[in-house]
Amino acid sequence: MTPEGPIHATTVAVRCSDGWRGVMILGASGAGKSDLALRLIGRGWRLVSDDYTRVWASGGALYACAPAIIAGRIEVRGLGIVSAATRPLVRATLAVACTREPVERLPEPRSRAFCGVDLPLLTLDPRPASAVDVVAAALETL
C-alpha cells in the first residue's frame, strides 16, 4: 500500500456492471467540485468524500476514502454542511479536472498519476447541466 494524501478532491462513486467505480473531481476551492458531486448524487451516485480525499495504491489500483473528520458530509453552498448517502471506500477509475476555460471539443487522451497509478483525466467545465452526462459517458468508455 502506497499512501498519499489527502488530496484536494471530491470523490463520488457509481455502481456499474463490474462493481463500484469512483470519480475524483479535482479543482480549487469554488471550482464546482461539490456542486457537480451533488448533481451526480441526485442521479443515484454516492458520496465518498467532499473536498479532501485520502488515496492509496494497492495491487496496481487506486483507492479513495474520506478523512474521518468529514466522512458522510458535503458542503452545499448557500445552505451549509449536510449529510449525504455515502460509499465508504471505492476504487478510483477516473479523474475530472474542473475548469472555467473553454474545453477542447476533441482532446487528446490525458492522465494523471496518483500514488504511481495513472488515471484517465477529463478536463470539464462543471457548470453546464450536461456535465453530469459527460462524466457518466467518460466513465462508460473506460
pLDDT at 4 > cutoff 90: no
What is the reported pLDDT for 104? Answer: 87
- What are the structural domain ranges in the chain? 2-140
d(CA 83, CA 48): 12
Question: Alpha-carbon distance 135 to 59, whole Å?
Answer: 25
Q: What own/partner pairs with CB < 8 Å and gap ≥ 24 does 1-4 have? A: 1/56, 1/57, 1/58, 2/56, 2/57, 2/58, 2/115, 2/116, 3/54, 3/55, 3/56, 3/115, 4/55, 4/56, 4/114, 4/115
Closest CA to 5 of 88, 65, 82: 65
* Digit-coded pLDDT (tens) for 41-90: 999 999 999 999 999 999 999 999 999 999 999 999 889 999 998 999 99
Domain 2-140: CATH superfamily is P-loop containing nucleotide triphosphate hydrolases (3.40.50.300)
H/E stretch holding 138: helix 131-140
Q: What's the maximum distance between 2 C-alpha atoms anywhere in the chain? A: 41
5 pLDDT higher than 90: no
Residue 55, H or E segment? strand 52-58
Convert the pLDDT of each residue in 115-128 to its tens digit. 999 999 999 999 99
